[in-house]
Every structure is written in structure tokens, then in C-alpha cells.
């Protein structure tokens, strides 16, 4: 209730929207953590990205509260910067893990290949399988980020052009 009074109804809705994707990533990664043998780092990426996203939202709310109480936010700002740097590095790694297998991923678990190593005569099963929901969620959460960034840049450029036209 106190948070509702602090943020107001619009702030609560925006907070919910900001936290929705990270919470969904956390849930999806946890639910499918053993269902992507083609690259087990994909569900791990979802779990880590979701966790960092929730931490970023919580730190943002904490900073707003500290600012409203006129408390020095330098420590919070440093923490936000470090978490954002980690999230950026994780985003790059997620791009590699998800897009690298985009052409070869299979949603059919029976699509496996037996490979025998000539030196050791050991046969192992190599699978290109990843649960369709897990893989497509990871793929579209990353692709959606690029779409959002592109739309933000277009709007920003249009705003700059409008300001330039009005100023001249």
C-alpha cells in the first residue's frame, strides 16, 4: 500500500511492465532448465537475465525512494551501473548462444545423431533438440530487445529532427 501511495497508479503499472519480462524469463528458464540439450546455456541465460532484470527493477525503485527522501544515491547508482554492465555482458553472451544454433535447432526430440569417436570407440548421442517454447522465448526476448532499441532510436531521431525544425 505504501508503495502504491509513493508511485501512484501509473507508476505501479509501469513498474509491473518493467518487471514482467524479467519475471517471465526467470520462470521460463527455471521451467525448461533441463529441456535444451543443444545448448544448456540457453535456459541458464534466461534464469540469469531474469534475475538481473528483477534486481535492476528493485534497484530502480530503491533509487526513486532514496531520491524522494533526499538521501545520497551514489552507492545505489554505482550498484545499478555494475548490474547493468553485467546484464549487457550477459545479453551479448545470450545472443551468441541463441543465434548460433538458430538454423540447426530442432523442436523434435527424436532428431538425434549417433557419433562414434574413432580413437575411443565411444558412441555419444548429439542432439539438436531444444524445447520449442524455451528456445523461441529466448530468441524473441533478444530479438524484441533489438526491435525496442531500433524503435527508440527512430523516435529519438524524429524528436531531434522536430526540435531542429522548430528551432529554425
2-23: string of b/e by CB count within 10 Å (b at 16+)? eeeeebeeeeeeebeeebebbe
Q: Where in the sequence is the domain holding 49, given as residue range(s)?
A: 2-167
CA 108 to chain CA centroid, Å, is: 25
Please state the domain count of the chain.
Answer: 1
72 phi/psi in degrees, rounded to 5: -60, 125
Q: What is the pLDDT along the chain (168 residues), one digit of tens a residue?
A: 445 445 677 777 888 888 999 999 999 999 999 999 999 999 999 999 999 999 999 998 888 888 888 889 899 999 999 999 999 999 999 999 999 999 999 998 876 665 555 566 655 556 889 999 999 999 999 999 999 999 999 999 999 999 999 988
CB-based contact 11:60 (threshold 8 Å)? no
- Phi and psi at residue 114, to the nearest 5°: -90, 125
Amino acid at each position: 500500500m505504501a508503495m502504491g501511495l509513493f508511485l501512484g497508479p501509473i507508476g505501479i503499472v509501469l513498474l509491473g511492465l518493467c518487471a514482467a519480462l524479467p519475471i517471465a524469463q526467470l520462470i521460463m528458464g527455471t521451467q525448461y532448465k533441463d529441456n535444451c540439450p543443444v545448448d544448456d546455456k540457453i535456459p541458464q541465460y534466461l534464469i540469469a537475465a531474469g534475475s538481473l532484470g528483477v534486481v535492476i527493477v528493485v534497484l530502480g525503485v530503491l533509487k526513486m525512494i532514496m531520491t524522494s527522501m533526499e538521501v545520497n544515491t551514489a552507492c545505489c547508482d554505482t550498484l545499478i551501473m555494475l548490474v547493468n554492465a553485467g546484464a549487457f555482458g550477459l545479453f551479448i553472451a545470450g545472443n551468441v548462444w541463441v543465434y548460433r544454433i538458430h538454423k540447426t535447432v530442432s523442436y523434435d526430440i527424436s532428431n538425434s545423431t549417433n557419433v562414434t569417436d574413432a580413437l575411443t570407440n565411444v558412441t555419444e548421442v548429439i542432439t539438436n533438440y531444444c524445447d520449442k517454447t524455451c528456445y523461441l522465448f529466448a530468441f524473441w526476448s533478444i530479438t524484441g530487445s533489438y526491435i525496442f532499441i531500433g524503435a527508440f532510436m527512430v523516435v529519438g531521431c524524429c524528436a531531434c529532427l522536430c526540435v531542429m525544425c522548430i528551432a529554425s
